[in-house]
Structure 1
Amino acid sequence: MSGQPGPAAPLERVIAAMAAQQGEVGGRLHADLTSHIPSYRAVPRELLDQIWHRHFERALTVVREGTVPAPEDFGEADVARDRVARGVPLGDGLRAFRRALSAIRDLFIAEATERGLDPGLIVDRTTCLWELADVASLQIAAVHRQAEVASALLDARRRTGFLRGLLYGTLSAAEIHSGAAIYGLDPSRPYRAIRALPDGDVGPDAFERPLESRARRSGRGALLTVLDDAVAGVVEAKPETGDLRLTAGLGPPVGLAAVHRSFRTAGRMLEAARAYGLRGVYDLGDLSWRVAVVAEPELAELLLDRYLRPLEAEGEFGALIEESVREYLKRGRHVREVARRAHVHVNTVRYRLRRFEELTGTSLDAPDTAVELSWALAARELGTPR
C-alpha cells in the first residue's frame, strides 16, 4: 500500500542517523588520535577530516549493501605517500585506521540497537565492517610499503644528484647551501672529497653505508653515495676502513664550493693507490711524488731505460744490484745497514753499488740520480707503465 515503509527503511534510518553524527564522531576521533598517536600531530586537521570522510562514506556503503570492496578498490596511495612524507610509521597508520573503523562500528551498533534493527542484520553488517577493517588494513600496509620504497628511491636519487653536482662543480651557491642543510653538512667547515673502489668482486653498494658510518665517527660529518661505479662523496676527516676491502683516494680539505677541485685530486690519489696495489685510504701526504709516476708514463719509460734496464744484461746479478740500490736509497745511503739486512759483507754491497754506476754511467752521490732512480724504482713497482 502507498506510503508503507519498505524492508530497507529501518536500515536507511540507521544510516541517516549515523551520517548526521559524522562530524561529531570525527572530532572525537581527531582528539583521540593526536592524544594517543604522537606522529599524527604532524598531520593537518583538514587532511585528517578528508580521510575520515572517505572512510565514513565507504563504511556506510558497506552497511547499506552488505558487501566489502576488493582490495584494489581502496584508493589509499595518496594517503600513504602523505604519511610517509610526514614520517608517520606504518604501525601508527594502521592503528589510526582501526580506531576510525572501531568508532564507525560502535556508532552503527548503537544506532541499530536503538532503532530496533533486526539482530541478524546487525550481526551481518557488523561482520562486514570487521571484514572491511581487515581488507583495508592489508591494502593500507601494501601501499604504505610501496610509498616507503618510492620515497627511499627518490631520496637516494636526490642525494646522488646533490653529490654529483657538488663533486663536479655544477651547483650554484644557493643549491649548495640548501643541499647542505638537507643532508647535515656545515658550509662553514672544510670537507675532503673521497672516491673509493672495492677490491675483488664486491660491488660499491656493499660498502657505501659502512664507509659513511666509519667517516661519521666522533661526530664527524660525511655524505657518500654510489656514483659512476664508485663510492664518492665528502668527509671531514680520513676514515678508518677497518676490514673493508677497498681502495680510496682522498682530496685536500676545502670549502663546499671548492669540493670539485678536491674531488679531482681524490681521483688521482685513487688511481695511484690502485696502481701500486694498495688498500685503504690515501691522500697526497701518503703517496707524495709517487702520484706523478702514475701520471707520467713516458717519463717513467725514459728513467727505466736509463737506470734499470741496463742491469738486465747481468741476469741474476743485475737483480741483486737493483735490490741493493733500492735498499741503499731506502736506508738513507747507509751501506752497513744495507749489508746487515741482506746478510752480506759490506764490501759486497759496495761492489754492487759501484757496478751499478758503471752500467748506468751515473753517480749515486748526484742529487739528480737519487731523484730519478727513486722514480724509476717506483715505476718498476707498477709493472709496465701505462
Structure 2
Amino acid sequence: MTRTGNVPTFGTLLRDLTADPAAVDEVAWAARANSPEVARLPADEVRRQVVLLLGSGLGALERHEDPAGRDFTEARRLGADRAAQGVSVTGLLRGVQAGRDRAVELVVRHGRAAGIADEVLLEGLLTIGRYAAAVERAVVDGHRAAERDLLRTGAAARVHLLRRLLRDGPAGTLPAELTRFGLRPDGRYHCLVAAPPDPVRAHALHRQLTRHGGLLGTVDDRLAGLLPRLPDAAPADLLTLVAPAQPLERAPAMYALCLAALATAAHRRLRGLRQVTDLAGETALAAQPVLAELLRASLLGALDPADGFHRELAGTALAWLHHGQRLDQTAAALHVHPNTVRYRLRRLRELTGGPPVEEGARCTVPETVHWWWALRSWLDGG
C-alpha cells in the first residue's frame, strides 16, 4: 500500500491487508518458519488460520465489541483440529504468535506508507491485540479440550500400543489390551507405512483406512498401522506400502520391510498403494550399497558418468534387461529402431565386455541381476 491523496482509515488498512494474498502469504510464512509442526500443515490450512486472526482483528475494530462476549467457536474448532492431527499446543502457539507478530509489522509498515499517524496505528493495534489474545485463548481451550477427549477415548493408549507392536512385537502384551483395541492375539494383520502426509490428510486417512478395524497412528513421524484387511484404495499422490498379512509376532519384521521398501519406492518417485513384495528385489539390493559399488566398478568402470553418450548406452542396456532382452520391445519402449538398440548394446559391450548381444544370446539369471544392479546404481549416481 502506498501513500495516496486521501489517508485511509485504520479499518480500511486492515481490510486491505486481510484481502491481500501477498500479505496473507507473508504472515503464513512467518508462522510456518517459526514452528516445524505448523510447517507440516497444508499451506491452505495455515492461510485459513491467518485469515481467522486478521478477520478477528477487523471485526473487533469495526464492531467495538467486548472480546468476552464474542463467539470464538471457530477458533476453538481450529485448536481441536490441531490436537487431533498431533500438533502440540506449544507448536501451535509458536506459529500463531509468529504470524501475529508479522501481521503487526505489516500493519505498521503499510500504515506509515499510507500516511496513517503513529498514534492511530497504536490505538488500532491495541484494539485488535485484545481480540488476538482472545482468539489465542480460544484456540488453546479447544486444543486442551480435544486432548482430554482423546485421552478419555483411549486414543493415546491406542497409538502407544501400535508403536510397541511395530517396534517390539506383542511379547508382554496382555490379550485384554489387544482386544480392547479390536485386535486378536491369533489374528493376522497387514503392516502399512505411508510417506508422512500433512496432519490434516493423516487425520482423514486414518478414518478411511481403519474402516474395517485395526490400528493406525504416527510412528517415527510416519503414518503406520496394522490392518485386518488391505485398504480398498489410498490417495493416488500418497506413497503407501503394505505387507502381506502376518501374525502379530512378525509385526516388527514387516514394519522394517515396509520402511525399507518405502525408501526404495520414494527413490523411484512412485506414488499410490504399493505391495512390499512388488519391490522385493530392489529393496534387497538397495540394502547392499557397498556391493553395488563393487559391481559398478567391476562391470562399468570404463564408462564416464559425465559422458552423455555413455549414459545413453547404459540406459538402453537397462531398458533391454527390463524388456526381457528383446530388441523389438526395447526399441518400442525407447521409440527408436531395433538396429539403434543393437548398435548401442554392441558399443557398450566393446567398452565394458558385456552384456552379450549376439542374436539369440541371453544373460543367465545371475548375469541379469549383476548387470541390472550395476546399470541401475550407475545411472542413479551411486
* TM-score where L is the length of structure 2: 0.54
Answer yes or no: is the 8 Å Cα contact 1:293–1:378 preserved in 2.
no
Using CA pairs below 8 Å that are at least 6 residues apart, which structure has the higher relative contact order? 2
Larger Rg: 1
CA gap 1:298/1:195 in 2 versus in 1, 3 angstroms: same
1:366: which partner in 2?
363
Whole-Å separation in 2 of the counterparts to 1:193 and 1:312: 42
Structure 2 SS opposite 1:191: strand
1:162: which partner in 2?
161
The structural deviation recorded for 1:185 is 2.1
Structure 1 SS opposite 2:372: helix
Gap runs ≥5 in structure 2: 1-140, 357-361
- C-alpha offsets along residues 332-386 of structure 1, whole Å, 9 cap, x if unaligned? 12212333444444333222212211211234333233111111233246x343x
The structural deviation recorded for 1:172 is 3.7
The structural deviation recorded for 1:153 is 3.3
Structure 1 residue 346 corresponds to structure 2 residue 338: yes
Answer yes or no: is the 8 Å Cα contact 1:195–1:231 preserved in 2.
yes
CA gap 1:272/1:187 in 2 versus in 1, 3 angstroms: same
Structure 1 residue 320 corresponds to structure 2 residue 318: no
Task: Out of 341-350 and 294-303, give the one that drifted further.
Answer: 341-350
CA gap 1:349/1:266 in 2 versus in 1, 3 angstroms: closer
Whole-Å separation in 2 of the counterparts to 1:374 and 1:236: 36
Structure 2 matches for 1:225-374, cutoff 5 A? 225-243=217-235, 245-312=237-304, 315-364=307-356, 365-367=362-364, 368-374=366-372
- C-alpha offsets along residues 102-121 of structure 1, whole Å, 9 cap, x if unaligned? xxxxxxxxxxxxxxxxxxxx
The structural deviation recorded for 1:290 is 0.1
1:184: which partner in 2?
182
Structure 1 SS opposite 2:304: helix
CA gap 1:226/1:316 in 2 versus in 1, 3 angstroms: closer
Structure 2 SS opposite 1:310: coil
- C-alpha offsets along residues 161-180 of structure 1, whole Å, 9 cap, x if unaligned? 111221122644552x2222
- C-alpha offsets along residues 234-289 of structure 1, whole Å, 9 cap, x if unaligned? 01233355436432333332122332222222222222222222223333321021
Whole-Å separation in 1 of the counterparts to 2:170 and 2:332: 58
Deviating above 6 A after TM superposition, structure 1's stretches of 4 or more consecutive aligned residues are 143-148
CA gap 1:188/1:317 in 2 versus in 1, 3 angstroms: same
Query: Percent identity over the alignment?
Result: 29
The structural deviation recorded for 1:190 is 0.7
CA RMSD of aligned residues (A): 3.0
Whole-Å separation in 2 of the counterparts to 1:335 and 1:347: 8
CA gap 1:343/1:164 in 2 versus in 1, 3 angstroms: closer
Whole-Å separation in 2 of the counterparts to 1:212 and 1:313: 44
1:213: which partner in 2?
207
Whole-Å separation in 1 of the counterparts to 2:144 and 2:336: 72
The structural deviation recorded for 1:308 is 4.1
The one-letter code sitting in structure 1 at the alignment partner of 2:150 is A
- C-alpha offsets along residues 140-176 of structure 1, whole Å, 9 cap, x if unaligned? xxx999766414135222112111221122644552x
1:376: which partner in 2?
374
Whole-Å separation in 1 of the counterparts to 2:258 and 2:177: 22
The structural deviation recorded for 1:191 is 0.2
- C-alpha offsets along residues 63-105 of structure 1, whole Å, 9 cap, x if unaligned? xxxxxxxxxxxxxxxxxxxxxxxxxxxxxxxxxxxxxxxxxxx
Structure 1 SS opposite 2:354: coil
Answer yes or no: is the 8 Å Cα contact 2:191–2:227 preserved in 1.
yes
Aligned length: 235
CA gap 1:384/1:237 in 2 versus in 1, 3 angstroms: farther
The structural deviation recorded for 1:307 is 3.7
Structure 1 SS opposite 2:370: helix
CA gap 1:380/1:216 in 2 versus in 1, 3 angstroms: farther
